Amino acid sequence: MVESRCGILCSECEYKEKMNCKGCVNIDKPFWGDSCRVKVCCESKNKEHCGLCNDFPCTLLKEFAYDENQGDNGKRIEQCKKWCTL
């Protein structure tokens, strides 16, 4: 089951319960700000998640995945690949 646009596993996120987050596939606005650039991009292309995009993995997704403070060292990119095989 796809949990996010970028490949983050919401079920593993420490903020899911704290912030009552339903995951970006189920909300219009993220709890952390006005919008998420990855979510906006993915939805503007009518993609369920980034792994289904012709540009995957794009520069924007890589910036998020490998961000020094909030990245996951590419785990979300690998998750998108897994979702593509389902």
Query: 4 exposed, middle or buried (CB, 10 Å; 0-12, 13-18, 19+)?
Result: buried
- Locate 9 and state its tokens: 């596993």
16 pLDDT higher than 90: no
Q: How many CA atoms does the CB half-sphere of 18 hold within 13 Å? A: 7
Using the predicted structure, report yes or no on whether residue 86 has a pLDDT greater than 80. no
pLDDT in tens, 19-71: 988 888 988 888 888 899 999 999 999 999 999 999 999 999 999 999 998 89
- Minimal CA–CA distance to 60: which of 30, 23, 83, 35? 35
Residues in the chain: 86
